[in-house]
Structure 1
């Protein structure tokens, strides 16, 4: 919390490259979309708030970026909606060079997605797992040696306290909103490492990294109970990072020359950092991958 925020280096222009940013209508997602568009990218903002999304894209375009932004509806809590989004994107014949899996929720009360999954697990992890896999062949064909396509998974330091219970992924036995959130963020790191191993073995021009944005003052904290929100506000102004500061590591992973060909990392403040011991459990990585494929119908 007390570390200085990461300062982005000068990034190379990204003209002609296409990015998808989930949850790009506000907070860190909006800041990431804005920065990538300023580098010349065509950024597709994927989210479930149509008016907010259209306004976000319009705001970016009005700033005179070298690239452009547009909004396309996608609800990550619905596997059907994810599939429809991917099909619509494919039908346009666009390449895909960067996928930023940023959308998320935190500390919500016990609830389920449209497909019956625990809400944190379904939105933060499973929706992105399906999205990434459905777009993987497009990422592969869009990348090339020395100019990889990139997947960026937005994780959290909360993953250090996470446990993935393969027998109760929906956490019905004993629900804790913090535990559910931590599980979803650990699942993203496990997913990152396993996918990168597969891509490296196949020699695919795609890299996958997980990033930790630090403590960021965003709407994710709106789910805190009233007293906690009141106590958080003065603390956040002093200690928390702004959404732009939080997005900087994701932008770095998506566009920095230093990250070319560098995958399978957990990045904090622009540096490779040791993730939790559990995240390196290869058997758990494989077991979660297979179970996730089963759950989303792959």
Structure 2
């Protein structure tokens, strides 16, 4: 979860776990938030979403703490990186942005269920992007091996997150579980995600970002809304932009594609429950 989202949740009196693979950066964020937020509690736990082994270890460590889990915000990601593979052999965008969150959410789902109740559901908030509108999902080549394109790989991973969210909500609703799942689009936010742009694009971005991009504080607002707003109690299966329900891409509502991706994802990460 991002620093600004963590800070604002801690300021609401919540116990926040920042999970990430940059320990020094994570601990620095904890110290800074502790200086600003007096009501809540915040701590860092190591998690590398590009490693399925790390995801499983994190879940084991977290469960051993005996803590409840009322809100899970899936907010890690890389963007426009050159072709690289994770340690499990997945294309990096697909492996980190999507499969890591897929496995993490499923492994924590039982805890989310027991932490929720009929009057206060637990919530899964997954951060996606408007780039999903241009995303294509090739179930026969999810790793982009036939023709790799950084933008295509990033867009596909964000589309996969929306499809995942909708299928998850359908499963939760069918079983009557006290958990909801929503996808949020923070808009164009001026963060380090753009560091992989080519130099000319970086130079062109600077003046544009000051005028058109949202600040990290503004970008966190929709995730905060999805995580704590009373208006969304018991409400799932939404795509939220700027605090409002918005239509996602037409293909993201394809229930057959949602199911196919879910089953394929289970096989890829070795998750037995469907």
How many residues align? The count is 271
Task: Please give the residue correspondences for 1:14-163 in structure 2 after superposition, counting only pairs within 5 Å.
Answer: 21=1, 29-163=2-136
| One of 203, 215, 235 as aligned partner of 1:262 | 235
- How far off its partner does 1:62 sit? 1.1
Asked if the contact 1:39–1:65 (Cα under 8 Å) also holds between the matched residues in 2, the reply is no
Higher RCO structure, 1 or 2 (CA under 8 Å, sep 6+): 1
2:144 equivalent to 1:165: no
How far off its partner does 1:65 sit?
2.8
Measured in 2, the distance between the counterparts of 1:239 and 1:200 equals 38
Deviation of 1:97 (Å): 0.3
Q: What is the alpha-carbon root mean square deviation over aligned residues?
A: 0.6
**In the aligned structure 2, how far is the partner of 1:272 from the partner of 1:35?**
22
1:271 to 232, 240, 244: 244
Cross-structure match for 1:5: none
TM-score (norm 1): 0.90
Corresponding residue for residue 12 of structure 1: none
**What TM-score, normalized by structure 2, do the two folds share?**
0.98
Q: Please state how far the C-alpha of 1:236 moved relative to its aligned partner.
A: 0.2
2:221 is aligned, of 226, 233, 248, to 248
Q: Secondary structure at the match of 1:71?
A: strand
Per-residue displacement from partner, 1:243-287 (whole Å, max 9, x unpaired)?
Answer: 110010000000001110110000011111000000011110000
Equivalent-residue separation in structure 1 for 2:58 and 2:48 (angstroms): 9
Q: Deviations over 1:101-152 (max 9, x none)?
A: 0010100011111110010000000000000000000000000012010000
Aligned to 1:177: 150
Q: What does residue 17 of structure 1 align with?
A: none
Q: Which residue of 1 aligns with 2:162?
A: 189
1:227 aligns with 2:177: no
2:256 alignment counterpart: 283
Q: Distance in 2 between matches of 1:49 and 1:65?
A: 24
* Dislocated runs of 4+, deviation >6 Å: none
Q: Give deviations 1:48-73, integer Å, cap 9, x for gaps.
A: 01111111011111113310110000
Q: Distance in 2 between the 1:283 and 1:249 partners? A: 28
Any idea what SS the aligned residue of 1:109 has?
Answer: coil
